[in-house]
């Protein structure tokens, strides 16, 4: 397989695993294999921007530096880490297994995406994550790429790859399932904060951070409240003990 994969799609599901931080880069990406089987022959043809080529998810890892870890990012070393690319007009080197250094973690807003666009991407990926059987085959992975590209590049409200600014212009059948994913995810609950692993002159990758479930968040807030109450009580007890009698 060639070491230069052109114009594929990517998204990240984070797993908790500690690695030594990179010395000088915000993040180092390693893509080791196709995620759901070899998608090299899954050729798609799209327009605006125009592209003809392979599409599908990848498996790999991300190593964040200490600065990113301090902001809550956790290194990903799990072999089930799945990533899809953002751009159509860029490529990347180093597949499989080579380290790709120099990536920067950027929020959706810093990357130039509107809150609405980030929300729709989060809903799409949340819908897929809610049921692993929705994307567990190379053809479904290719369809997910097309769906994500539609949300990245389409400038109207259309959610179909058969109409609108961005569309599938070839004769493949992947757009049918892509349209189904887009339609089904339109009202899904968003479980993710949407970020991008960005590098000038190279393919950018979608990076997702899971938002705590409301019940989990409530427990965390309750625990923090309990800590604050405990501290106030200790201060009050200490003050009482020090008061003259």
DSSP 92-129: EE-TTT-EEEEEEEEEHHHHT--HHHHHHHHHHHHHHH
Q: What is the pLDDT of residue 130?
A: 96
**CA 17 → CA 60, 71, 173, distances in Å?**
13, 16, 38
Stretches in the chain below the pLDDT threshold 70: 1-25, 77-80, 171, 213-245
Distance between CA atoms of residues 86 and 105, nearest Å: 14
The token pair that represents 22 in the structure block = 């990179």
Using only the alpha carbons of the chain, give its radius of gyration: 21
91 forms beta bridges with 6
**CA 202 → CA 34, 39, 78, 92, 190, distances in Å?**
19, 21, 24, 5, 28
The token pair that represents 83 in the structure block = 């990533």
Backbone angles phi, psi at 210, to 5 degrees: -70, 135
Q: Is the dihedral of CA 178, 173, 93, 32 positive or negative?
A: positive
Domain ranges of the chain: 4-211, 213-245
Distance between CA atoms of residues 212 and 163, nearest Å: 36
Distance between CA atoms of residues 91 and 97, nearest Å: 16
Contact yes or no for 148/10 (Cβ under 8 A): no
Contact yes or no for 72/209 (Cβ under 8 A): yes
Q: What is the pLDDT of residue 156?
A: 75
CA-closest candidate to residue 8, choices 89, 106, 105, 126: 89
Q: How many CB atoms lie within 10 A of CB 158?
A: 15
Distance between CA atoms of residues 100 and 87, nearest Å: 16
Q: What is the pLDDT of residue 151?
A: 94
């Amino acid at each position: 397989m060639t070491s230069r994969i052109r114009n594929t799609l990517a998204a990240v599901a984070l797993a908790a695993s500690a690695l030594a931080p990179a010395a000088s880069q915000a993040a180092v990406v390693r893509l080791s294999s196709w995620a759901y089987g070899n998608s090299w022959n899954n050729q798609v043809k799209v327009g605006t921007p125009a592209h003809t080529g392979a599409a599908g998810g990848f498996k790999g890892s991300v190593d964040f530096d200490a600065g990113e870890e301090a902001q809550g990012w956790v290194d990903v070393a799990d072999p089930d880490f799945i990533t899809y690319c953002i751009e159509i007009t860029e490529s990347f080197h180093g597949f499989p297994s080579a380290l790709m250094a120099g990536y920067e973690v950027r929020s959706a807003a810093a990357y130039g995406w509107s809150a609405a666009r980030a929300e729709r991407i989060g809903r799409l990926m949340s819908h897929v994550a809610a049921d692993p059987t929705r994307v567990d085959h190379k053809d479904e992975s290719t369809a997910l790429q097309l769906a994500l590209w539609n949300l990245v590049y389409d400038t109207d409200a259309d959610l179909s790859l058969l109409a609108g600014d961005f569309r599938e212009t070839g004769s493949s059948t992947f757009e049918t399932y892509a349209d189904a994913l887009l339609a089904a995810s339109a009202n899904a609950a968003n479980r993710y904060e949407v970020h991008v692993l960005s590098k000038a002159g190279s393919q950018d990758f979608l990076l997702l951070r899971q938002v705590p479930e409301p019940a989990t968040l409530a427990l965390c807030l309750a625990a923090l409240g309990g800590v604050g109450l405990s501290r106030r009580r200790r201060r009050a007890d200490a003050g009482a003990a020090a008061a003259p009698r």
